[in-house]
Amino acid sequence: MEFDGHWLKWGSIKYAARSGPWGKGTLPAGAYEVRVKEAVVNLTESGYVGDDGEGWFIPIVGDTPGRGGFGIHPDGGVEGTLGCIGLVGEAAAEFWSRWDACPMGDRPTGLEVWQ
């Protein structure tokens, strides 16, 4: 997967997304590991719940000294994130539907971020 600050790209499909401006700002550029087996579902906290009412969080880990706890999730509640990748509007439901239908071994395990 790739993220450029506006789009999360998985293969040839792009999903509208944002990062920041809260906390220490946007997700730093670099390579990240997508922790496929650590995804959390059925979240109810508004910041992780999309327009469709589904709440989920997929952890991502990179070499980001002084920062952590990043993930991919719906951009719910107040617009923006603390540095995570927040999928916007219908993009969250579209991404999650694809993720959920994708066999575990075929889910992307890497993420490249550039700004």
Q: What is the pTM of this model?
A: 0.96
pLDDT of residue 115: 75
pLDDT 10s digit of each residue in the chain, 115 long? 999 999 999 999 999 999 999 999 999 999 999 999 999 999 999 999 999 999 999 999 999 999 999 999 999 999 999 999 999 999 999 999 999 999 999 999 999 999 7
pLDDT of residue 21: 96
The answer to whether the beta carbons of residues 15 and 7 sit under 8 Å apart is: yes
Domain containing 19 equals 2-113
CA R_g for the chain: 13
Q: What are phi and psi of 98, to 5 degrees?
A: -65, -45
CATH label of the domain that carries residue 86: 2.40.440
Separation of alpha carbons 37 and 58, rounded Å: 9
Domain total for the chain?
A: 1
Residue 106 CB coordination number (10 Å):
9
